[in-house]
Structure 1
Amino acid sequence: MTEPSWLLIDDDETFANTLARSLGRRGIHTEVAHDPARAMELASSGTATRCVLDLNLAGESGLLLLPELLARRPDMEVLILTGYGSIATAVQAMRQGAVNYLCKPVTADQIIEGFEPDLHRPELRTQPPSVEELEWEHIQRVLAEHDGNISATARALNMHRRTLQRKLGKHSRWRE
């Protein structure tokens, strides 16, 4: 029997390489891509049967890449990983063909479990996003709709500009 092969797509090189090493210790061969172009190249030429796809690829949505991956490799199982989980994006990912949707931080074992759910291990089930995570995703969505304009975003959110700036600053320090 050949060892399993996975494709990891994440713009965070440190995270992707650490995850690849962890999966390698579990007998899973991985190929890593840090951008959509390399991901499509590896998907076309590789033998990966599973893919771990980050939802945020350098500011672009991994959901845009999901249909392209599945068009090239319809047999590939794709699991979405995100630091900004929401029910809406989880539903969208599943409708587009993802087999699961997990929120970071996760371990290699949790990712493996994401492909092979074990109902007897409830601690590995995906946790719903917190109110703070949902608020952050909403702010990011509105910010994107206003092309990064803080003042316009604050008006759309009915929030003082300085309050929005504090939330953005606090969250960016919290994520680092």
Structure 2
Amino acid sequence: MKMTNKEDTANTDIGPDTTLLLVDDDAPFLRRLARAMETRGFTVDTSESVTEGLAKVKNQPPAYAVVDLRLEDGNGLDVVSALHERRPDAKVVVLTGYGNIATAVTAVKLGAIDYLSKPADADDVFNALLNTSNGKAPPPENPMSADRVRWEHIQRVYEACDRNVSETARRLNMHRRTLQRILAKRAPR
């Protein structure tokens, strides 16, 4: 992960409330991102679990948040939803190493403003939080494979069923254990 020091961007567009909550169970990544965001003018608080993140949102909802999707004790979307309920104006970016369209759509519906795949550098996170990117992202060089399209469809149905494996398997006419194995794997390329 590339962390650059951008003193010229520090505190320029953040606004009066500079509170930022980072929720990620990868401790080294969390420390590096926290340091990088502090140099850009944020007042950073960190959490390594959904439970801890929810407690911090309940006690003092931040103006900004960067939340990992998959955490050891649950789904980061629960933190996004709780923050949006407590503070609808909060800007949330979801980070994940397991990017897919269905969870991106769900994250946006729950109040996230952007969805970034890991590894994302501090500039990408900063730009997403402040929405300072210049135009649209370039189109992908390689389109999705048939396996990836299938995986995306499964993820979309899974999210539509509120992450209920049995109901998703029934709707897809698939054995529940087969679906569990598919969901446990990383997305195909």
The partner residue of 1:35 within 49, 58, 70 is 49
Q: Which has the higher contact order (CA 8 A, sep 6+)?
A: 2
Structure 1 residue 4 displacement after superposition: 1.4
Paired letter, 1:9: V
Residues 40 and 152 from structure 1, CA distance in 2 versus in 1: closer, same or farther, beyond 3 angstroms?
Answer: closer
Q: Which residue in the other structure is 1:54 paired with?
A: 68
Residues 19 and 138 from structure 1, CA distance in 2 versus in 1: closer, same or farther, beyond 3 angstroms?
Answer: farther
Q: Which residue in the other structure is 1:174 paired with?
A: none
Structure 1 residue 117 displacement after superposition: 2.7
1: distance between equivalents of 2:139 and 2:126? 16
Instruction: Specify which structure has the higher proportion of helix.
Output: 1
2: distance between equivalents of 1:12 and 1:127? 29
CA contact (8 A) 2:69 2:94 kept: yes
CA contact (8 A) 1:85 1:137 kept: no
Count how many residue pairs are aligned between Structure 1 and Structure 2: 154
2: distance between equivalents of 1:26 and 1:16? 15
Moved segments of 4+, more than 4 Å: 126-141
Structure 1 residue 75 displacement after superposition: 2.5
- Structure-1-length-normalised TM-score: 0.68
Q: Which residue in the other structure is 1:101 paired with?
A: 115
Structure 1 residue 35 displacement after superposition: 1.2
CA contact (8 A) 1:82 1:104 kept: yes
Deviates more, 1:1-10 or 1:98-107: 1-10
Residues 133 and 67 from structure 1, CA distance in 2 versus in 1: closer, same or farther, beyond 3 angstroms?
Answer: same
CA contact (8 A) 1:84 1:137 kept: no
CA contact (8 A) 1:102 1:126 kept: no
Residues 126 and 118 from structure 1, CA distance in 2 versus in 1: closer, same or farther, beyond 3 angstroms?
Answer: farther
Q: Which residue in the other structure is 2:89 paired with?
A: 75
CA contact (8 A) 1:85 1:103 kept: yes
Q: Which runs of 5+ in 2 are unaligned?
A: 1-14, 159-163, 167-175
Q: Which runs of 5+ in 1 are unaligned?
A: 172-176
Q: Which residue in the other structure is 1:115 paired with?
A: 129
- Structure-2-length-normalised TM-score: 0.64
Residues 112 and 71 from structure 1, CA distance in 2 versus in 1: closer, same or farther, beyond 3 angstroms?
Answer: same
1: distance between equivalents of 2:139 and 2:62? 27
Q: Which residue in the other structure is 1:17 paired with?
A: 31
2: distance between equivalents of 1:5 and 1:127? 33
